[in-house]
Structure 1
Amino acid sequence: MTVSLGPLLLVFMLDLVVTPPALAQDDPRYNKFLSQHYDAKPRGRDDRYCDRTMRSRGLTSPCKDINTFVHGSKDSIKAVCGKDGEPYRNNLRISTSQFQVTICKHRGGSPWPPCRYRASRGSRHIVVACENGLPVHLDESVFSQ
């Protein structure tokens, strides 16, 4: 009895081609990155925006000292891990173009809610750590003007 491997090989190859985009949807580190740092269409970008967004994203128990929201498409942010990014120190990547960002800084006082934030708006190159072609960490200590 002979078994042809042709159809089985074809199914295996198709699985390799189709699986990576599906995995991107389920990558927990990428999803955490999006939750903490991605906001395509922000409203306000002022202190109230920071207070509201930090609270809704679960970044206020305890109050996070600083958090940056990147305003752009998911695809443009992901591209920093590829064609739209350049190697940067310690296995990081820096964007070749600037993104609109809102930086929320805790005003001080108690580290427990209610947390109050001061907003700063601007355009910056972003620095990210990537895994499997996806951003998983935003380096908030590095912002080039």
Structure 2
Amino acid sequence: MAMSLGPLSLVFMLSLIVIPPTLAQNERYRHFLTQHFDANPRGRNDRYCETIMSQRDLTSPCKDVNTFIHGNSNNIKAVCGNNGSPYGGNLRKSNSFFQVTTCTHIGRSPRRPCRYRASAGFRHIVIGCQSGWPVHFDETFIRA
């Protein structure tokens, strides 16, 4: 007697194909948030940069420049949708300003302890999106 694949088996087989890209996508988004998102910063000065860069494990070696976006993560995600405009390739520029803190390495050595200078302000952000999710922050200067 021949066995046929039942509907449950078919769903399981399809899930093996669909789930891995979804998990990878979520992992890239979580990595983006770890590197570039801080909802409620304490301070926004040099000490803030030195502390958060160390907490987020961005100091082995000392990262040259890193920007943290403050506020609501849903607003950042919306840049990949209706709150963003195409900006070349898969990049999108936010239609609104975001509060940001840019941490710039000022030490001479790439080894710890890492010293950072903070630059706080408001600006449009440019992010790379994949399947509607932020996965890359573009540190470059925004063209007019």
The aligned amino acid for 2:112 is: P
1:118 corresponding residue in structure 2:
117
Show structure 2 runs of 5+ residues with no match. 1-6, 12-17
Instruction: Give the Å deviation of 1:89.
Output: 1.4
Do 1:129 and 1:139's aligned partners in 2 also have CA atoms closer than 8 Å? yes
* Matched residue, 1:128: 127
Q: Deviations over 1:70-92 (max 9, x none)?
A: 00211000000000000001221
The TM-score normalised by the length of structure 1 is: 0.81
Q: What residue in structure 2 maps to residue 5 of structure 1? A: none
Once residues 76 and 23 of structure 2 are traced to their aligned partners in structure 1, the CA distance between those partners, rounded to angstroms, is: 13
Q: Secondary structure at the match of 1:33?
A: helix
Q: Is the 8 A contact 1:71 1:99 kept in 2?
A: yes
How far off is 1:50 after superposition?
Answer: 0.1
Establish whether residue 49 from structure 1 lines up as the match of residue 66 from structure 2.
no
Q: Whole-Å Cα distance in 2 between the matches of residues 140 and 26 of structure 1?
A: 21
The structural deviation recorded for 1:36 is 0.2
1:91 aligns with 2:90: yes
Q: Write out per-residue CA displacement over residues 77-108 of structure 1, whole angstroms, 9 at most, x where no aligned residue.
A: 00000000000012210000000000000003
Tell me which residue corresponds to 1:137: 136
1:31 counterpart = 2:37: no
Structure 1 residues not aligned, in runs of 5+ = 1-7, 13-18
Q: Kindly provide the amino acid, as one letter, of the partner of residue 103 in structure 1.
A: T
How far the C-alpha of 1:142 sits from its partner, in A, is: 3.0
Runs of 4+ deviating beyond 2 Å: 23-26, 142-145
- Aligned residue identity for 2:118: A
State the secondary structure of the residue aligned to 2:134. Answer: strand
RMSD value, Cα? 2.3
Q: Tell me which amino acid in the other structure corresponds to 2:94.
A: S
